[in-house]
Structure formats: C-alpha cells, structure tokens
Amino acid sequence: MASKKKRPIDMMDAVRRAFRESGMLGYELSEKSGVRHSVLSRFMSGSHIQSSAFEKLAAALGYQLTKTKGK
C-alpha cells in the first residue's frame, strides 16, 4: 500500500479559514491585528498582501509563524 504524501499547508488558506471559523467580524480582526480593513478585505478575496500584514493577521488568529532555512 503506497503511503500518502503530506500536502504542504497553504498558510494563507489556513489563516483565511481560521478567520471564517472564528466568528469575528472584519472590523474586529482589523482592530485586533492592527491591519486596515481594506487590506483584510483584499486578503480575504484572494489577493496577496505584504508579509508584515499577513503576520499580524495570523498572530491575531493564534498562529505563530517562524522562519526556517530553505533547502
């Protein structure tokens, strides 16, 4: 039986999902994270945002991002 390969986690999708499941409103996450609501809206619609804004959103939703050396 072949083993299943682990699919890499798409952190942007994980953070979007965490926000939807949190029950918070957009303005609440904006206030909690310090990220402008317009940036949050762009992110939630699938656009890429600056890494600093992404890190703030992720932290506000309970994620701790760490940087690792690439292969």
pLDDT tens-digit map of 14-28: 999 999 999 999 999
With a cut of 50, list the residues of the chain below it in pLDDT: none
Q: Residue 55 contacts by C-beta under 8 Å, 6 or more apart in sequence?
A: 65
- Percentages of the chain per state (helix, strand, coil), in multiples of 5: 55, 0, 45
Residue 54 has φ and ψ, to the nearest 5°, of -60, -45
Predicted TM-score of the model (pTM): 0.79
Comparing CA positions, the residue from 65, 25, 63 lying closest to residue 44 is 25
How much is the pLDDT for 22? 95
How much is the pLDDT for 17? 94
